[in-house]
Every structure is written in structure tokens, then in C-alpha cells.
């Protein structure tokens, strides 16, 4: 496990992923009933953009660095505001030094009745993640294989919610694992919302992934590339 998200935190791919995450959670919040978010590949939760890793790549400059203070039309701004608020909450003195990962963005948006389960397999990252949520009774952090959790952690008792699956794509076979993971999770929890992040690099690989998703027979899915 060599992948460290700290090198990439806040880059353009994070911005797109986290905006979609925010919109799904805001959608879930239209109903009062509690929901749960299962974040299978959670990372450490909070990233120092001036730290060694993010500083070495500077990827965030062309991501969150470009959009946080950019002007947007009113309808677009309305959709983005909850995301920007989650980022600004980690920078209470203004400016942009810290970037929240998916679990902290999710946590920022939860209501009292909602819950977050965050899984991270890398032992050091799992420890940092745990520290970032110490004392938080609405969040459970577990040092566990996120793929296994699709069997063990579903369905949640809330019966509503989202599974965010954001693997590092450092090993071959992640696309296949995503399809197999969706089939397993959907059998256990057909009413859940599932969001996958994947790199848009090889059109052939993505076409195969989309075909495989269609072959599962699971309806109401969409892929973006």
C-alpha cells in the first residue's frame, strides 16, 4: 500500500468527487429520516496543503485553489455552497491551508440523527483518521478492508444512505472489484446509493466497466467520463 492521498488532496479530481458527495448528502437530507454514509476508502480525513506531501505536488493549486474564491452564477453557487462551507470550516482563520477529505466533508453535513462509518486499511492512515474523529459519537472509524465492509457493514439500520467507494487504483483489478463489490452490496442493500470514483484514463477500460455494470442488471446507474 504505497498510495498516500496527502499528495493529491484537493486536486481537481477531489473537487469533482467531493462536489458529487455533497450533492448526494444534501439530497438525502431532504427527508428527516436518518441516513448512514459508509466511506470504504476514507483516507486520513484532513490534509495540510502546506505540508510536505501536498507541497511537493502542488496538485491542490489547480483544484480547490482555483475554485474556492472563484465567482459562480447564483444557481451554481447555491449547489456548491455546502462544499465550500465544509472546506472553510477547516480554515477558521480564513485562507486555505487545510483540506477536508471525504469523511470530514461528510461529517460537516450530517445532522444529529445521521451516522458516518469510515474505513481505512493503511494502519498509519487509519490511526490519523481515528485521531481526527476522536470523541465523535456520530462517526465510527475502523481499520478494515473497505471491500470486506460491503459484506459486513450492510445494510445499515437506518435503511437510507450512501456508500462511497474511492479506491486508490494502485493495484490491477480495481474496476472488477468495484463491479463485484456493487453486486455484493446491492444484494444486501438494494435501496442504498453507491458512488464510485475511478480514473478517466483508458477509454477501453471504462467502456468495459460500463458494460459490466450494465450486465449486473442493477438499474438507475450512470457513469461519467
Ligand X SMILES: C[S@@+](CC[C@H](N)C(=O)[O-])C[C@H]1O[C@@H](n2cnc3c(N)ncnc32)[C@H](O)[C@@H]1O
Q: Which residues bind ligand X (CB under 6 A)?
A: 1, 3, 5, 14, 17, 40-43, 101-102, 119-122, 125, 145-147, 166-168
Collapsing DSSP to helix, strand or coil, 76 comes out as: helix
Pick between residue 114 and residue 120 the one whose CB is nearest to ligand X.
Answer: 120
Collapsing DSSP to helix, strand or coil, 217 comes out as: coil
Beta bridge partners of 37: 116, 162
Number of residue whose CB is nearest ligand X: 101
Exposed / middle / buried, residue 70 (Cβ in 10 Å: 0-12, 13-18, 19+): exposed
- Has 166 been annotated as catalytic? yes
- Planar angle of CA 47, 52, 58, nearest 5 degrees: 75
- CB of residue 214 to ligand X, shortest distance in Å: 25
- CB of residue 51 to ligand X, shortest distance in Å: 15
DSSP H or E stretch at residue 37 = strand 36-39
- CB of residue 101 to ligand X, shortest distance in Å: 3
Pick between residue 34 and residue 118 the one whose CB is nearest to ligand X.
Answer: 118
Pick between residue 169 and residue 212 the one whose CB is nearest to ligand X.
Answer: 169
Active-site residue among 39, 114, 125, 166? 166
Are 158 and 33 in contact, with CB atoms under 8 Å apart? yes
Active site residues: 166
Amino acid at each position: 500500500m504505497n498510495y498516500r492521498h496527502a499528495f493529491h488532496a484537493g486536486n481537481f479530481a477531489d473537487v469533482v468527487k467531493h462536489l458529487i458527495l455533497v450533492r448526494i448528502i444534501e439530497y438525502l437530507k431532504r427527508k428527516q429520516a436518518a441516513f448512514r454514509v459508509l466511506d470504504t476508502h476514507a483516507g486520513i480525513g484532513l490534509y495540510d496543503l502546506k505540508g510536505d506531501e501536498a507541497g511537493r505536488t502542488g496538485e491542490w493549486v489547480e483544484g480547490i485553489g482555483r475554485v474556492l474564491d472563484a465567482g459562480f452564477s447564483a444557481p451554481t453557487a447555491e449547489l456548491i455552497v455546502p462544499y465550500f462551507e465544509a472546506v472553510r470550516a477547516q480554515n477558521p482563520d480564513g485562507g486555505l491551508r487545510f483540506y477536508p477529505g471525504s469523511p470530514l466533508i461528510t461529517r460537516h453535513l450530517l445532522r444529529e440523527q445521521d451516522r458516518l462509518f469510515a474505513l481505512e486499511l493503511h494502519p498509519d492512515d487509519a490511526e490519523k483518521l481515528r485521531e481526527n474523529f476522536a470523541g465523535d459519537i456520530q462517526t465510527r472509524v475502523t481499520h478494515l478492508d473497505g471491500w470486506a465492509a460491503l459484506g459486513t457493514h450492510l445494510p445499515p439500520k437506518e435503511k437510507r444512505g450512501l456508500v462511497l467507494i474511492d479506491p486508490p487504483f494502485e493495484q490491477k483489478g480495481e474496476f472488477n472489484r468495484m463491479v463485484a463489490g456493487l453486486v455484493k452490496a446491492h444484494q444486501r442493500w438494494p435501496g442504498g446509493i453507491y458512488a464510485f470514483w475511478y480514473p478517466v484514463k483508458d477509454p477501453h477500460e471504462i467502456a468495459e466497466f460500463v458494460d459490466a455494470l450494465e450486465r449486473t442488471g442493477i438499474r438507475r446507474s450512470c457513469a461519467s467520463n
